[in-house]
Amino acid sequence: MLLLTIYFIFTLSIFTNANEYDTLASKRSSSYHFVKPTIVSSTLPPIISDFTSHPASIRVLLQIEDREDLLLNLNLNEDLLNEHFKFFFQATDEYQLTRHTDRIIHCYYHGYVENNLQHSKIALSTCNGFRGSILLHGEYYYLEPILNTHIIYKHDNRLPKRVKTCGTVHLDPFPLIPGNFTQSFTHVKRQAISRFVELYLIMDLTLHQLLGSNFIHSLNYLVHVANEMDLMYKSLSIRIALVGATVWSSTNQISVEDDLSITLDNFLDYIPTLQSQASVIFDNAQFVTGKTHPSTVVGFAPLSTMCLDNSGGVSRDLDLRELDIAATISHEMGHNFGLYHDDVGSRPCYLCPGNECTRIMNKVGIDVIPTEFSQCSIDELDAALDSGIGNCIFNEVPMLVTDPVCGNRFVEPGEECDCGSSIECPTVDPCCQPGLCLLKNGAQCTAGECCDAGCQLSPSDRLCREKRNECDIPEYCTGSTGSCPPDLYHTDGTLCTTAGSSSYCFKGTCNTHRGQCYSLFGTAGVDVGVDVCYSELNNKGDKYGNCGIRHNLDGISTYIACTASNVKCGKIQCSTPADPELQTTGSAELTIVTLNFLGGAQVECIGVNIDVDVDFTDPGLVIQGAKCGPGKICVDQMCVDLYTVSDQVLCPINDLGVPCSGKGTCSNTSVCLCDTGFTGSSCNQLASAMSTHKFSTPLIFILLSFLILFL
């Protein structure tokens, strides 16, 4: 390898007023050190001083004033930008221009401090100087350019210091009771396989102006934020792939209010419009505003909506520092995954080791940037994925094409595997040869659910991802790759049953009112409340019956009364013969109403009330996807026709017009999964014994799935 030594000479003497550096630096940190970054080696031609070249792999020596030098090992984060990435900015109030990936400079790196591989993480950009975060032994340091030099400082010393809180309020998480609407099982661990969130970021006009109204600066800022988020989510084997970004440079396309909960409402309503206008498929959208407010609340997001139409959140950027806002957005996205606050209620994660909590899902942050997800968050993510939340993150994401570099832990054209350095390989991928990026002699595959401990491919009939619930579809190894096929599920509208109640599959889950009552109160004697509980109470608009809470700027919250058509989608109403006992702890209040009728008949209606400022994800409201009528389901406390919120799926049909010829199951990707003994795109051909697939669905089940929508 050709070793190159290039020196960037940064001296104070080129300025007539040397104090100019200290003046600028003191606004960013109460204690800082000047740094001279030096590129000591590269696998490509050297980076010149104006940072116009960004090699796939570099080593940077940080010579820090009055401190020990640090040697950084950096690799271009090639999973960050999607090959279809689009950047939108407004040229006028009405017109937007687009920049595609051929206009985007990829200058975003991940890495580690050499000799501290296990105790360091780095997210840096080299777009215009070195800028980004260095996590070393549990403490964040921030490196940034100032004029024509650099400074580094501990993040704890940054200025200004603020108290920041998340506005999302919730109960303690509910336990997953086997057989309920969030069914649990022991699944194959997927830590060896990365899961991708295709992310879309939007910056409002205020933040764009605070960043100098410079399009390139604003774009780099958003991509850098995504790079920091990607580093935070790596520990969960989740990668952040930025597929699009928009800067509102002329007019905000939604009303940005002081109350972030209202801004969240407005943004979630805007997401379908964004999906249509941008012509980009994304799993999650996050909105960032620079609008300040005396409130400490810096973020809001709904719970458990990842991959749904309301998969997103809003965040307030107070510091104009990528690491800070990345931590906030990562927190809000955690709520989309179904993660709860660590420091609320009687949770085991309430007490943190040491004097400071550095968990990403903490509700309150005081001068501390979180460094990791807690074990509570890890367990909640596993439970959420098992219940069907976030199915879309298992899809493969096309990445930008760059020159392959062996040793950067990205499998690129011409490589069979890439396990990183010789130090990393034994733990990252024992099937791969370090330095060659080829499989070891005799190895058939690399890490994955379909690659065994001996580096051999699993047979094609081996189950690699279990069926999570009645609406999920099991996946089997193909026999040709070590990875499990993409996660598939039944089409929306397929008839299903949970806790003895019929419903429709929606986004891979089968949710029912009875299943939700089981989750709230346990299974012994519990049942869903009779229809009269919904019709008599949920139209009142009080704590005993409602369709959610409206939050006002003056701090007053009011209950929303359900319309007659939406009463089955408002407050969940249950019944139990014994004294009801919630299967959770926290600030929950039981609501019990006894309805009296002529002749002495009585009906008891039991629900859960949260007497605090809450968002739309109150677990006391009917869950998304529950059946509220023939061909109708609950979405955001409204009873809507299933076809209006379902993905358009058209599987191949036979000559009689029957999907999958009645010999298979139509998946959410419009692909037929044929029953045992059949093959072909529409399952209309007999298969040999060697090609049969372990999947069987009776014909009557297929027919009922389509007829039920019209009953």
Strand-pair partners of 196:
239
pLDDT digits (tens, 9 = 90+) for 522-570: 776 678 888 999 999 999 999 899 998 876 655 577 889 999 999 999 9
Taking the C-alpha atoms of residue 632 and residue 569, their distance in angstroms, rounded to an integer, is 11
What tokens appear for 360 in the block? 């990403």
Q: How confident is the model at residue 188 (pLDDT cuts 50, 70, 90)?
A: very low
Mean pLDDT confidence for 208-232 = 91
Mean pLDDT confidence for 669-677 = 87
Is 331 among the annotated ligand-binding positions?
yes
Which range in 454-463, 493-502, 617-626, 686-695 is most confidently predicted, on average pLDDT? 454-463
Residue 629, pLDDT score:
94
Q: How confident is the model at residue 10 (pLDDT cuts 50, 70, 90)?
A: very low
- Those residues with Cβ within 8 angstroms of residue 381's Cβ, 6 or more apart along the chain or in another chain: 236, 337, 338, 339, 373
Q: Is the pLDDT of residue 571 over 50?
A: yes
Q: Is the pLDDT of residue 705 over 50?
A: no
Taking the C-alpha atoms of residue 408 and residue 563, their distance in angstroms, rounded to an integer, is 57
Mean pLDDT of the chain: 78
Which residue among the candidates 78, 144, 322, 332 is catalytic per the annotation? 332
| Poorest-pLDDT segment among 92-96, 221-225, 685-689 | 92-96
322 counts as catalytic:
no
Q: What whole-number percentage of the chain has pLDDT above 70? A: 74
Residue 51, pLDDT score:
58
Residue 16, pLDDT score:
28
Residue 351, pLDDT score:
58
Q: Is the pLDDT of residue 183 over 90?
A: no
pLDDT digits (tens, 9 = 90+) for 280-292: 889 999 999 999 8
Residue 98, pLDDT score:
59
Q: Which residue has the higher pLDDT, 408 or 642?
A: 642
Is 150 among the annotated ligand-binding positions?
no
Q: Which residue has the higher pLDDT, 268 or 481?
A: 268
Peptide bond connecting 619 to the previous residue in cis, omega within 30 degrees of 0 = no
What tokens appear for 306 in the block? 């990842």
Residue 279, pLDDT score:
81
pLDDT digits (tens, 9 = 90+) for 381-398: 988 887 778 888 987 666
Residue 11, pLDDT score:
27
Domain ranges of the chain: 1-76+107-157, 78-100+160-169+191-403, 495-644, 660-710
Q: Is the pLDDT of residue 264 over 90?
A: yes
**pTM value surpassing 0.85:** no
DSSP codes joined into one string, 324-366 = HHHHHHHHHHHHHTTPPPTTSTT-TTSSPSSSS--BTT-SEEE
Q: 3-state class of 489 per DSSP?
A: strand
pLDDT digits (tens, 9 = 90+) for 83-137: 778 888 765 555 455 555 445 678 899 999 988 877 889 999 988 889 999 988 8
CATH classification for the domain delimited by 78-100+160-169+191-403, as one of 3.30.420.40, 3.40.50.300, 3.40.50.170, 3.40.390.10: 3.40.390.10
Is 155 among the annotated ligand-binding positions?
no
| Poorest-pLDDT segment among 144-153, 310-319, 519-528 | 519-528
How far is residue 347 from each of residues 352, 377, 620, 661, measured CA to CA in Å?
A: 11, 11, 19, 51
Q: Is the pLDDT of residue 457 over 90?
A: yes
Residue 340, pLDDT score:
86
Q: Which residues of 28-42 are buried (b: 16+ CB within 10 A; e: fewer)?
A: bbeebbbbbbbbbbb
Residue 49, pLDDT score:
41
Q: Is the pLDDT of residue 471 over 60?
A: yes
Q: Which residue has the higher pLDDT, 599 or 173?
A: 599
